[in-house]
């Protein structure tokens, strides 16, 4: 299986093009390749596939083998992959995901894509499959979970945005609180968790506990959820800079309410993974 490792702000995935490769048991493959000691090392596996409704289709699996609906950093890297690897020469492409179809605008420098803007669309009403008290009529639900005031948001995947005043990289009990909220009974599908501190005007800091992967250097859809919450609540104006452990993203809202995310995409290396059919290894 030929693969390419890529990352967006340090949120890294193993990418495989189903235009030329076959992947049996992708959940098991995701577990195997994601291991940072015995595998390639990644936050998960992303397959790039043909689509009947868009230019391409994203199929993503977290590091624990569970399938995810959407990944903002991951989808930016898809934009870079399909252009740089000759699957398209268009700089405007659409990608089908389990969370809906999104549009990408690719910035090309030196014949390679270095930055991608993702039109994430309008925020989706939170379904009851994401939160037990959701009624499907609101895209931002104030809640109190484990003693924290937070916002439950859907960006096609579930997010719990938690404002904090202290440094989330300091004494804050991140590794205790993150998994507890991820698997809280209020979230039937589990949830991504973003801890957010205000650094200045239109400047936020986010530390991410990602569903199925633990701490990641970045979460693009999470940054979109964070930007949406802080702009909607009047704390910030659009666009807002969100600093992540692996870099920064710009998140904005258009006049008609669409969430726009702009950030980098990078290729690390390519190789071959010696899969044994049916085993995932």
**238-281 per-position pLDDT tens digit:** 999 999 999 999 999 999 999 999 999 999 999 999 865 444 45
Residue 219 known to be catalytic: yes
One domain for residues 149 and 238: yes
One domain for residues 242 and 197: yes
One domain for residues 177 and 243: yes
Average pLDDT in the 14-31 region?
96
Residue 239 lies in a domain: yes
Give the confidence band of 191 by pLDDT, cuts at 50, 70, 90. Answer: very high
3-class DSSP state of 7:
strand
Residue 125 lies in a domain: no
Q: How many domains does the chain have?
A: 2
Supply the range of the domain harboring residue 253: 140-257
Residue 279 lies in a domain: no
DSSP 38-71: TSS--SEEEEEE--SSSSEEEEEEETTS-EES--
One domain for residues 95 and 174: no
One domain for residues 114 and 60: yes
- In the block, which residue shows the tokens 């289709």? 57
Nearest to 228 by CA among 166, 127, 164, 151: 151
One domain for residues 150 and 114: no
One domain for residues 146 and 253: yes
57-92: pLDDT as tens digits: 999 999 999 999 999 999 999 999 999 999 999 999
Residue 83 lies in a domain: yes
Mean pLDDT of the chain: 95
Residue 20 lies in a domain: yes
Which CATH number belongs to the domain containing residue 220 in this structure? 3.10.310.10
One domain for residues 10 and 101: yes
One domain for residues 167 and 208: yes
Residue 133 lies in a domain: no
One domain for residues 86 and 153: no
Residue 130 lies in a domain: no
Residue 127 lies in a domain: no
Average pLDDT in the 97-102 region?
93
Which is catalytic among the residues 9, 77, 160, 219? 219
Radius of gyration of the chain (CA): 18
One domain for residues 224 and 180: yes
Residue 71 known to be catalytic: yes
Name residues whose C-beta falls within 8 Å of residue 105's C-beta, 6 or more positions apart in sequence: 91, 92, 116, 117, 118, 119
pLDDT at 113 over 70: yes
- The reported pLDDT for the residue numbered 104 is 98
- The reported pLDDT for the residue numbered 62 is 95
Which is catalytic among the residues 71, 77, 160, 224? 71
- The reported pLDDT for the residue numbered 275 is 66
One domain for residues 157 and 50: no
């Amino acid at each position: 299986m030929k693969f390419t490792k890529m990352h967006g702000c340090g949120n890294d995935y193993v990418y495989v093009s189903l235009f030329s490769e076959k992947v049996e048991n992708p959940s098991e493959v995701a577990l195997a390749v994601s291991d940072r000691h015995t595998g390639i090392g990644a936050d998960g596996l992303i397959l790039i596939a043909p689509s009947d409704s868009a230019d391409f289709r994203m199929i993503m699996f977290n590091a624990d083998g569970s399938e995810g609906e959407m990944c903002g950093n991951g989808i930016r890297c898809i934009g870079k992959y399909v252009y740089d690897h000759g699957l398209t020469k268009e700089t405007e492409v659409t990608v089908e995901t389990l969370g809906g179809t999104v549009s990408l605008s690719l910035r090309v420098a030196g014949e390679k894509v270095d930055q991608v803007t993702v039109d994430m669309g309008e925020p989706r009403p939170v379904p009851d499959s994401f939160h037990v008290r959701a009624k499907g009529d609101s895209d931002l639900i104030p809640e109190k979970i484990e003693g924290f005031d937070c916002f439950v948001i859907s960006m096609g995947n579930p997010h719990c945005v938690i404002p904090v005043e202290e440094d989330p990289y300091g004494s804050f009990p991140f590794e205790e609180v993150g998994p507890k909220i991820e698997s809280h009974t209020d979230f039937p599908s589990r949830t991504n968790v973003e801890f957010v501190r205000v650094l200045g005007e239109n400047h936020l800091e986010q530390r991410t506990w990602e569903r199925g992967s633990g701490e990641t250097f970045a979460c693009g859809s999470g940054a979109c959820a964070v930007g949406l919450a802080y702009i909607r609540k009047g704390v910030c104006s659009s666009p807002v800079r969100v600093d992540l452990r692996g870099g920064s993203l710009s998140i904005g809202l258009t006049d008609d309410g669409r969430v726009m995310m702009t950030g980098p995409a990078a290729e690390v290396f390519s190789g071959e993974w010696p899969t044994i059919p049916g085993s995932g290894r």
